Amino acid sequence: MGPFRYPRFFAHRGGGALAPENTLAGIALAARLGFRGVEFDTMLCADGVPFLIHDETLERTTDGSGDVARTAAADLARLDAGCRFHPAYAGTPAPTLEQALDLCARLDLVANVEIKPATGLARETGAAVGRLLARRNPAALLASSFSPEALEAARQAAPAIPRALLLESVPKNWPDLLAGSDCFALHCAAGEMSAALAADLAAAAIPWACYTVNRAADAERLFALGARALFTDRLDLFADAKIGVC
Ligand code: G3P
Ligand code: MG
């Protein structure tokens, strides 16, 4: 893994709160607003193709129903992933990971690809995502996951792609978890970050980032503690002059 340059902010799930999550429309919007980085979630469909989607089921974000892992790529590609967000986005598809990576490359965006395996498919998902990432520019990519198994499979398929371990809560043995997953960085829920934890991370020279930060005061606190990047839904709040590369 080479050094990775974090953008200051990642637009969470593509376009944050301003666009349907995990869509090309959201990613494009983030770029238009001046974001340098986007985060999105990726999961395998029934054919083993990684699509951008957060939930294991289709209902919340699309007009489909059932499990993503049991839906064929051709059927998934036909679903509407915009209409639940707002009628103005009706007809917006759920993109494949390939499509999203192509767009990020075109827009010069750093992509944090969160590997989101459906239950029981951690290894397959990490491996499939890793194979796609291995063909891309590692300087503009960061893989992350809550699943150490998925991260390990991604590492085997794409050793040059930097990896971050996601933790919703940070247990005392976080150094063991980080070392065990062979990740260079830790990403955790914003509420988990304390001055003591930030000091321990700094002492261990571990870069860290927090999700999901939607208030200026929280962003200021976390950057003061040493956050390398923050994930936000508030593209309206954090776009413009505050955007930059660390
Ligand atoms: O990668 C940070 C964040 O996206 C993790 O949580 O549930 O929004 O994917 P979630
Ligand atoms: Mg995510």
pLDDT of residue 243: 46
pLDDT of residue 140: 97
Over 60: is that where the pLDDT of 2 sits? no
pLDDT of residue 222: 98
Q: Which ligand is nearest to the CA of 233?
A: 1
Give yes or no: 54 in active site: yes
User: Average of pLDDT values for 156-181?
Assistant: 97
- The pLDDT tens digits of the residues spanning 103-161 come to 999 999 999 999 999 999 999 999 999 999 999 999 999 999 999 999 999 999 999 99
User: Average of pLDDT values for 91-98?
Assistant: 98
Given 3-state DSSP classes, what are the helix, strand and coil percentages for the chain, each rounded to the nearest 5?
40, 20, 40
Give yes or no: 12 in active site: yes
Domain ranges of the chain: 9-55+95-232
pLDDT mean across residues, the chain: 96
Which residue among 5, 54, 84, 131 is the active-site one? Answer: 54
Choose one of 9, 10, 12 to mutate for the ligand 1 pocket test, by most ligand atoms within 8 angstroms of C-beta.
Answer: 12
Task: Give the number of other CB atoms < 10 A from CB of residue 176.
Answer: 10
Distance 93 CA to ligand 1 centre (A): 20
Alpha helices in the chain (DSSP H): 24-32, 73-78, 97-107, 122-133, 148-157, 174-181, 195-203, 216-225, 235-238
Cα separation, 40 vs 219, in Å, equals 20
pLDDT of residue 241: 42
**pTM across the whole model:** 0.96
Task: Give the number of other CB atoms < 10 A from CB of residue 146.
Answer: 16
Q: What percent of the chain has pLDDT over 70?
A: 96
| Pocket lining: 21 vs ligand 1, CB cutoff 6 Å | no
Distance 195 CA to ligand 2 centre (A): 24
Per-residue confidence band for 3, with pLDDT thresholds at 50, 70 and 90: confident
Cα separation, 58 vs 92, in Å, equals 14
Over 60: is that where the pLDDT of 1 sits? no
Which one-letter amino acid corresponds to residue 221?
A: R
Over 90: is that where the pLDDT of 240 sits? no
Q: Which ligand is nearest to the CA of 22?
A: 2
| Pocket lining: 40 vs ligand 1, CB cutoff 6 Å | no
Distance 121 CA to ligand 2 centre (A): 17
pLDDT of residue 126: 98
Over 80: is that where the pLDDT of 239 sits? no
DSSP letter at 61?
T
- The pLDDT tens digits of the residues spanning 45-61 come to 999 999 999 999 999 99
Question: Between 29 and 239, whose confidence is greater?
Answer: 29
Hey, what CATH class is 9-55+95-232 in? alpha beta
Strands 208-211 and 185-189 come out as parallel
